[in-house]
Chain A
Amino acid sequence: MELSTVWFLLIAVLWTGYLVLEGFDFGVGMLLPILGRKDTERRVLINTIGPVWDGNEVWLLTAGGATFAAFPEWYATLFSGFYLALLLILLALIVRVVSFEWRGKINDPAWRRRADLAIIIGSWVPSILWGVAFGNLVRGVELDKAHQYVGGFFALLNPFALLGGATTLMIFLTHGAIYLALKTEGDIRERAGALASKLSIVTVVVAGAFAVWAQVAYSRNTWTWAAVVVAAAALVGVVVATRLRREGWAFLLSAVAIVGAVVLIFGSLYPNVMPAFVTANSLTVTNASSSSYTLTVMTWVAVILTPIVLLYQGWTYWVFRKRISVTSIPEHTGLTFERTSA
């Protein structure tokens, strides 16, 4: 296999890691106002992802860095082309990150409400926009002869891409609800399970429609039908498993569905990385890639380090495997705005 194809696969792997992991913590953030009725319940939700959200987000930084290193032309065209969409994602991620860490630092209900709002917005916005971005990649965009994106911002808001946005939104909501059912105990677990069961049905319909549309209208490869089938079967499995409250299975199948979706998205692009309306202008794994020397170096780095990362991140999930409930949440330890004692 060509090294550039190997790197196309590796970047797909990094996106899979990002979407499977941050997918559920986006879901948890979005469900904060829905499943967290009182402050303690909201704290249960946030603390299910407390020790892991930061590590999850690094998958995005790695995918971004790897794209820069392995496909500079792709990185340059994509990031300058999808400018305003990425700006919105960045702003959302910034407020979300600081709110997780700062929410409990001041013991004041209004302070917490503001942090919750930032977490909620910071989770909804990227959950939709990542799907819009991937939808546009699959659909193809307007590139000129120099492979520059010239379509503008509003061209990104086409029906297919918006359905892509709805797809990632629904998948993350379901994925997050399942994760909560898996990680909590008591009333919240019950409500999260019931919600996951309802959401999963909508997800099958929305994601199924997106996958079939993508495959029929835009995929450059017939074999990606296999990914459509696997993802669809997994999502149907999620419906069944959530109904039976088999949380472990539901989570696994939900993750498989995300893997299927990434395979479909990347598979339908290949050998392009960024297909253009005018085929000759497309960025491909060949014309967008780095030199074979750089790819070789980076292959060694990735092959050695990725399994180690998976090992210690896996260990973290093991350390924090215990379910939590409202009784596991300690009193607020944050300070008040004003210093009272001497």
Chain B
Amino acid sequence: MEALDLARWQFGITTVYHFIFVPLTIGLAPLIAIMQTIWYRTGDERWLRLTKFFGKLFLINFAIGVATGIVQEFQFGMNWSEYSRFVGDVFGAPLAMEALAAFFIESTFLGLWIFGWDKLPKKIHLATIWLVAFATNLSAYFILAANSWMQHPVGAELVNGRAQMTDIGAVLRNPTLLAAFPHTITAALLTAGTFVAGIAAWLMVRAARGKRLDLAGLYRPAVVLGVIAMLVGGVGLGLTGDQQAKLMFKQQPMKMAAAEALCESTDSASFSILAIGDLSNACTGVTHVIQVPGLTSFLASGSFSSHLDGVDTLQKSYEKKYGTGQNYSPNLAVTYWSFRLMIGLGVGSAALALAALWLMRKGRFPTSRWFARLAIWAIPTPFLASSFGWVFTEMGRQPWIVAPNPTGIDGIWLLTSRGVSTVVSPAEIIISMVAFTLLYAALAVVWYKLMHRYAIEGVADSEKDVSPDNPDNPDGADRPLSFAY
């Protein structure tokens, strides 16, 4: 394999891996903040127990998200230095802003939250988790600003063969970003909602079957909170995904044509549900087995009869614009299937939320084993949907690393093959790829074991209010730390 393929594999592996942990962090932080707020408002100790329980799971997950995030920032320079030279003037800015504006808040206030239960007044302590929740979401905004610029460059001009920023406002209000951000956040909410609902539901069933009705009653509101987050996330995903698709048909028509395996231009394009193709990656090798007439046209523009360009037509027009001798379509099978799996898995988990809501209507306690099992099986679904979503977004952008803006900034586009580091040898990339993959695999095993172990343990039997507000905790007394590593 050449350096280019290796560097792409490495980016794919490290990024998909990183994004297993990220959506859970983004979505879970506000849910924990809500739990702690309810405790703060009501003084109901059960919500403190839930806060601490999900807080532990949050921290196990947060650590690995942080650890794998450092790699993300470094590998642009390590493996993609030519890309970095080309885009640095624009792309570096949101990355630096993310660190300065978001990472500092997130890391500092999380430290205060973890260790500050007995040091900070309740209200201030509550504020720290809200700041963490705010900062994780803010960081998503900045990193998506950077990614959106690769999908759809704006606010820049070409000077001496590299992109130069002309308008930071345009970069931070990129329409692609304004569509991608709510889509990502709602995906995170679905992920975290499923996580909370799934674990709480499983524990609720266990408690109910063990005749611990008090415990089952404790978990029930957490299931409801999770399910609400799932529904908000699921509906939001549908709406924002629809917006994003419409935008993508305009901005990256080739990506969407590939996603639909739409070979020739057509009026009233059908939505393909199942297609089979040979492995040649040629559009003509695809046969659509099941399709819904006109639906793709409708998704693209809101009209069932609108005209859409197919892969072959687009290839010809790209050749005219950007030169011949290059296949401008992404890997069709990957784009087609990742798009469908993303949607299918996303819709699937939202549907489970509705089912859960129905089974728990009017104060019912589901106690069947299959309900508990389903709750657990639901948990990985949104994680997978997110991964497929990113595979679709990034692989669908190929062969570009910076896709051209069709409404035009002259000269701002870059083929992925031109972005890879020229001084890094394939051997060096193999070394780093093997090292990261092995380490990441080992960490994934530990992460899973810890999450599993803490999840099945359930909430603590009791939690004390150790805050300095509590008159039982005299100030300045010499007592052990409320939390220690």
Interface residues in chain A, defined as those with a beta carbon under 8 Å from any beta carbon in chain B: 43, 46-47, 50-55, 57-58, 60-62, 64-73, 75-81, 83-84, 86-87, 90-91, 93-95, 97-98, 100-106, 148-150, 290-291, 293-294, 297-298, 301-302, 305-306, 309, 312-313, 316, 319-320, 324, 327-330, 333, 335, 337, 339, 342
Decide if B457 touches A65 in the complex (CB within 8 Å): no
B129 to chain A, nearest CB (A): 14
B471 to chain A, nearest CB (A): 21
Q: Which chain A positions have C-beta within 8 A of B134?
A: none
Stretch at the interface among B101-109, B220-228, B336-344: B101-109
Q: Which chain A positions have C-beta within 8 A of B101?
A: 301, 305
B62 on the interface (CB 8 Å rule)? yes
B165 on the interface (CB 8 Å rule)? yes
Please, could you name 23 A-B residue pairs with CB atoms under 8 Å apart, sorted by A?
Answer: A43-B484, A46-B485, A47-B481, A47-B485, A50-B484, A51-B115, A55-B111, A66-B92, A70-B96, A72-B88, A76-B85, A79-B78, A90-B70, A90-B74, A98-B64, A104-B484, A105-B60, A105-B450, A106-B450, A309-B104, A312-B108, A316-B112, A330-B483
A22 to chain B, nearest CB (A): 12
Decide if A61 touches B73 in the complex (CB within 8 Å): yes
Q: Which chain B positions have C-beta within 8 A of A305?
A: 100-101, 104
B250 on the interface (CB 8 Å rule)? no
Closest to B421 in A: A80
- Which 3 interchain pairs have the tightest Cβ spacing? A72-B88, A79-B77, A69-B92
Decide if A51 touches B443 in the complex (CB within 8 Å): no
B422 on the interface (CB 8 Å rule)? yes
Q: How far is the CA of A80 from the CA of B428 in the complex (A)?
A: 10
Decide if A294 touches B93 in the complex (CB within 8 Å): yes
**Given A79-B77, A94-B71, does the pair A68, B91 have CB atoms closer than 8 Å?**
yes
Most buried by B among A72, A77, A313, A342: A72
**Given A54-B107, A79-B77, does the pair A335, B454 have CB atoms closer than 8 Å?**
yes
B18 to chain A, nearest CB (A): 11
Contact of A104 among B77, B81, B485 (CB under 8 A): B485
Decide if B96 touches A301 in the complex (CB within 8 Å): yes
Closest to A297 in B: B168
Q: How far is the CA of A60 from the CA of B74 in the complex (A)?
A: 11
Decide if B116 touches A319 in the complex (CB within 8 Å): yes
A40 to chain B, nearest CB (A): 10
B359 to chain A, nearest CB (A): 25
Q: How far is the CA of A86 from the CA of B120 in the complex (A)?
A: 38
Q: Which chain B positions have C-beta within 8 A of A100?
A: 63, 485
Decide if B119 touches A335 in the complex (CB within 8 Å): no
Decide if B424 touches A80 in the complex (CB within 8 Å): yes
B456 on the interface (CB 8 Å rule)? yes
Q: How far is the CA of A62 from the CA of B70 in the complex (A)?
A: 11
A215 to chain B, nearest CB (A): 29
Q: Which chain B positions have C-beta within 8 A of A339?
A: 453, 456-457
Decide if B111 touches A294 in the complex (CB within 8 Å): no
A38 to chain B, nearest CB (A): 15
Q: Which chain B positions have C-beta within 8 A of A105?
A: 56, 60, 450, 454
Q: Which chain A positions have C-beta within 8 A of B68?
A: 94
Interface residues in chain B, defined as those with a beta carbon under 8 Å from any beta carbon in chain A: 56, 59-60, 62-64, 66-71, 73-74, 76-79, 81-82, 84-85, 87-93, 95-101, 103-105, 107-112, 114-116, 119-120, 159, 164-166, 168, 210, 421-424, 428, 431-432, 435-436, 439, 443, 446, 450, 453-454, 456-457, 478-485
Q: Which chain B positions have C-beta within 8 A of A83?
A: 78, 424, 428, 432
Closest to A150 in B: B423
Decide if A328 touches B67 in the complex (CB within 8 Å): no
Contact of A58 among B62, B97, B107 (CB under 8 A): B107
Closest to A308 in B: B104
Decide if B104 touches A51 in the complex (CB within 8 Å): no
Q: Which chain A positions have C-beta within 8 A of B90?
A: 294
**Given A81-B423, A293-B164, does the pair A95, B73 have CB atoms closer than 8 Å?**
no
Q: How far is the CA of A267 from the CA of B79 in the complex (A)?
A: 29
Decide if A148 touches B423 in the complex (CB within 8 Å): yes
Decide if A291 touches B107 in the complex (CB within 8 Å): no
Q: Which chain A positions have C-beta within 8 A of B63?
A: 97-98, 100-102
Q: How far is the CA of A164 from the CA of B66 in the complex (A)?
A: 28
Closest to B85 in A: A76
Decide if B107 touches A57 in the complex (CB within 8 Å): yes
Q: Which chain B positions have C-beta within 8 A of A106?
A: 450, 453
Decide if B111 touches A51 in the complex (CB within 8 Å): yes
Contact of A72 among B71, B85, B443 (CB under 8 A): B85
B69 to chain A, nearest CB (A): 8
Contact of B85 among A73, A86, A87, A327 (CB under 8 A): A73
Q: Which chain A positions have C-beta within 8 A of B67?
A: 93-95, 97-98
Q: Which chain B positions have C-beta within 8 A of A316?
A: 108, 111-112
Q: How far is the CA of A218 from the CA of B166 in the complex (A)?
A: 38
A332 to chain B, nearest CB (A): 9
Q: Which chain A positions have C-beta within 8 A of B422?
A: 148
Closest to B484 in A: A47
Q: How far is the CA of A93 from the CA of B69 in the complex (A)?
A: 11
B84 to chain A, nearest CB (A): 4
Decide if A294 touches B164 in the complex (CB within 8 Å): yes
Q: Which chain A positions have C-beta within 8 A of B453?
A: 106, 335, 337, 339
Decide if A320 touches B480 in the complex (CB within 8 Å): no
Decide if A70 touches B100 in the complex (CB within 8 Å): no
Decide if A72 touches B89 in the complex (CB within 8 Å): yes
Given contacts A105-B454, A337-B453, 7 further A-B contacts (CB under 8 A): A62-B104, A291-B89, A294-B165, A305-B104, A316-B108, A328-B484, A339-B457
